[in-house]
Structure 1
Amino acid sequence: MDCAHGWTARVRDANGEPADMTFAKKTDALVYERKVLEAKSLGVVTRPKNLRITFLEWSEEWLSSKARRPGTEESYTRNVRRHMQPAFGGMRLHRIEPKDVQAWVVGLSQSGLAPRTVHLIYKTFRACINSAVRKRVLQHSPCVDVDLPEVRRKHIVPATREQVWALYEAMPAHLRALIMVGAGCGLRSGEAFGLCQDVIDFEAGVLVVRRQVIKVRSKPHLVDYNKTFTSHEREVPLPAFAHRALRDHLDAHAVLVTPQGEHVVFPSSRGNLLRRDGFYKWFKKALAAAGLPPTFRYHDLRHTFASHALDQGIPKATVQLYLGHASEDVLNDVYHHQVKGAAARDRNALEAVFFEETADVDVPSTIEVDDDAT
């Protein structure tokens, strides 16, 4: 190692091949020597050029490395350029340590981002790093023992039958049936916005979830895939009340015919694909009229569907298929919430184990709850 024209690390890799490299700083040369020696002890060949790669260079290469779904591509690009490159862009990829990643995660939380958002950004970072490890650009991942903020699930109370109907009545006529599609079929908002005539089988009383509306560069797009592999092409029941709502809707309102020939059931009032913000403008007003809290979302109609289905004894495995989940874990974790009135109704079944006279007990259909009680 000399300093006449910089500091040169003179080492050989695991194959015995020279892996010399010259650096401007002695510390960089020493770090390089250590990395090569560590790799050599493990029998791993260290390519000198890989130790020059910055996170900025690698992240841009990773973004362009393969085709992704438009929504995924937009999310990855936003996370990389808005949150990851400002923190790690100038650093050599191999110099990023777990402590650097932990400090970055803490900073994301302190900036005011929601815990779930921090998790999603970190997931993108980890995918980018793991790709470098798989391609042997990086020997070890710095994503080790990183503590993420706790994601607390909010307490969800499924809507009652009366609330669902009140919400239906409070919505504009061209959007009313969306309420019944959510509560009766368990569709996500994007799946409901992308519902087309060809997937509705009124005679059989089912519909197939095949498309969704996603936002790409602030514009809605109808795509022929769903959120997950298990969500796509799933068949869900079309109960009588949702059946009637859809029939009435199609009798009264025109569909949107796309250039590809799809007949979209729920276009906007201007005849375009329905945008989430446009829908929620009306949905928020209808919540107040229906006596539902302002935090209630369209997705909570999906919770309502799952909770009432489970409460009525539909097997978990079947509800899982209707929702498009790969396993029952998500179902158990998220969607099984107590249905209002279930405790009073179930009292009858529990007392029947010990007392024959229970059949004469008048069981209320609803339970009055004191909002001030804890």
Structure 2
Amino acid sequence: MARTKYAGIERRVLASGAERFDVRYRLPSGKSRTKTTTTITAAREFQATVLAQRARGGLVDPKAGRVTLADYSERWLDGKPELRASTVDMYRGILRLHLLPELGRVQLSRLDVATVRSWRADRLRHVGPGTVAKSYRVLRAILNTAVADGLIVTNPCQINGAGQEHHEERSVVGPAEVWALADEVDPRWRCMVLLAGFCGLRLGEVLGLAVRHVDLLHGTVTVERQLQEIGRSGSQVFAEPKSKRGRRALVLPAAVAKELRQHLEQMPDAGSDSLLFTGAQGGPLRRYRWNQEWTRARTAAGHPTLRFHDLRHSAMTLFAATGATIAELQAQAGHASSAAAMRYQHATHDRAVALAELVDRVITAPPEGERAMDAR
């Protein structure tokens, strides 16, 4: 087998007469690697790429990227102990249903933009764009960590806008509809509707409330935890609120405080740690059981597609319509950022009418001098 050396490249002629070109280079760790190509042009292109990556400080060991996405995603999750159990459960669901079936056996070093684009196009043919956007963000986060770990040079998730979700406008119901929905719900759970529809609590926050969280003397309810159901097993755990700002004490509207007083009067033997809303056997209320009740109640009230979370949106829209500032909306909702609270600042028709009436009073009022003459 004949050999010819170029600058950093060795040409080999096999017994069959075919040519092979070996590019030898050294990693930052000091280890040597060899890349074999079939043409001198490909060898020189690879050599130029190695030199450019070394200059940028981005040269990685190609063997390191041979781990599959399935194996690395497990390591990625294990390396994030700060994640909430519900978030880990969500990530595992996305991996199981949307990422690993097609990409799980692919080595990280073989994931490129074309592969990611093909995967995304396939997913969009089978599930909604919101689910695909969530899945893309998880894949991008995993591969960002792979870049930081020195397993790959760049993240192949380079599709502009692929991780953005375009939310449909949530349904909004007014105070009368919230009361009507509360009337349809089993009396044991009536106040769940009011706390969501008039105070903006999430379902998990409502289910996590205990007697000690309600202060009728000062008219407040304290949110300091939420009840979550984890995995397909449905195990129930108390967890921290969604963000640090999720811990909050909210002043109750007088009508809601009155309803909570009546609710507590129906719990004469309850201790301070007793849950406000329980299932038939006195334990934590299961979400599937609440969903059954909510589906029945919303249908009876004439809102068959209304989601329970839409009540939170309705409450925050009501606060915005009555003049709440961004900071006040953020505090009420327990949002981590003002950006999330800003979406409730959209105009409502009733508020627009009220503002127009206020402006009309000003623009139709006579000037000061004319009012003085009229008075004489």
TM-score class normalised by the smaller sequence: 0.7 to 0.9
Q: Is the 1:167–1:179 Cα contact (8 Å) retained in structure 2?
A: yes
Matches within 5 A, 1:237-248: 237-248=251-262
Residue of 26, 38, 51 corresponding to 1:13: 26
Give 3-state SS (helix, strand or coil) of 1:352's partner: helix
Give 3-state SS (helix, strand or coil) of 2:245's partner: coil
Query: What is the CA distance between 1:48 and its match in structure 2?
Result: 4.7
Distance 1:15 1:337, change over 3 A: closer
1:355 corresponds to which letter in structure 2? T
- Normalised by the size of structure 1, how large is the TM-score? 0.82
Matches within 5 A, 1:67-106: 67=81, 68-106=83-121
**1:349 maps to what in 2?**
358
The yes-or-no answer on 1:327 pairing with 2:341 is no
2:183 corresponds to which letter in structure 1? E
Matches within 5 A, 1:245-324: 245-253=259-267, 262-291=273-302, 293-324=303-334
Distance 1:126 1:273, change over 3 A: same
**1:166 maps to what in 2?**
180
Q: Is the 2:227–2:239 Cα contact (8 Å) retained in structure 1?
A: no
Q: Is the 2:316–2:329 Cα contact (8 Å) retained in structure 1?
A: yes
Give 3-state SS (helix, strand or coil) of 1:314's partner: coil
Give 3-state SS (helix, strand or coil) of 1:213's partner: strand
Distance 1:32 1:58, change over 3 A: farther
Determine the C-alpha separation between the residues in 2 that align with 1:227 and 1:119: 21
Any idea what the Cα deviations from partners look like across 1:158-214, whole Å, max 9, x if unmatched? 322221111111110111011111122210111111111222222111222111121
Distance 1:309 1:15, change over 3 A: closer
Distance 1:21 1:239, change over 3 A: same
Size of the aligned set, in residue pairs, is 346
Q: Is the 2:228–2:239 Cα contact (8 Å) retained in structure 1?
A: no
Distance 1:345 1:66, change over 3 A: closer
Determine the C-alpha separation between the residues in 1 that align with 2:324 and 2:163: 35
Distance 1:57 1:149, change over 3 A: closer
Any idea what the Cα deviations from partners look like across 1:247-302, whole Å, max 9, x if unmatched? 11121147888xxx9421111223222222211212222223333x2221111111
Q: Is the 1:14–1:41 Cα contact (8 Å) retained in structure 2?
A: no
- Normalised by the size of structure 2, how large is the TM-score? 0.81
**2:243 maps to what in 1?**
228
Query: What is the CA distance between 1:226 and its match in structure 2?
Result: 1.4
Any idea what the Cα deviations from partners look like across 1:89-115, whole Å, max 9, x if unmatched? 23221221112112211111111x222
Q: Is the 2:137–2:163 Cα contact (8 Å) retained in structure 1?
A: no
Query: What is the CA distance between 1:142 and its match in structure 2?
Result: 0.7
Any idea what the Cα deviations from partners look like across 1:214-271, whole Å, max 9, x if unmatched? 121231523230122322x1222211111111111121147888xxx94211112232
Distance 1:62 1:255, change over 3 A: farther
Give 3-state SS (helix, strand or coil) of 2:168's partner: coil
Q: Is the 1:13–1:45 Cα contact (8 Å) retained in structure 2?
A: no
**1:110 maps to what in 2?**
125
The yes-or-no answer on 1:203 pairing with 2:213 is no
Give 3-state SS (helix, strand or coil) of 1:86's partner: helix
Q: CA RMSD in A?
A: 3.0
Distance 1:61 1:191, change over 3 A: same
Q: Is the 1:133–1:139 Cα contact (8 Å) retained in structure 2?
A: yes
Query: What is the CA distance between 1:340 and its match in structure 2?
Result: 5.6
Percent identity, aligned pairs only?
Answer: 27
Structure of greater Rg:
2
Q: Is the 2:206–2:226 Cα contact (8 Å) retained in structure 1?
A: yes
Distance 1:151 1:45, change over 3 A: closer
Q: Is the 1:98–1:146 Cα contact (8 Å) retained in structure 2?
A: no
Distance 1:337 1:44, change over 3 A: closer
Determine the C-alpha separation between the residues in 1 that align with 2:46 and 2:24: 9
Give 3-state SS (helix, strand or coil) of 1:12's partner: strand
Give 3-state SS (helix, strand or coil) of 1:265's partner: coil
Determine the C-alpha separation between the residues in 1 that align with 2:95 and 2:276: 36
Distance 1:341 1:65, change over 3 A: closer
Determine the C-alpha separation between the residues in 1 that align with 2:327 and 2:320: 10
Distance 1:127 1:157, change over 3 A: closer
Determine the C-alpha separation between the residues in 2 that align with 1:9 and 1:128: 32
The yes-or-no answer on 1:153 pairing with 2:162 is no
Query: What is the CA distance between 1:86 and its match in structure 2?
Result: 2.2
Residue of 192, 207, 212 corresponding to 1:178: 192
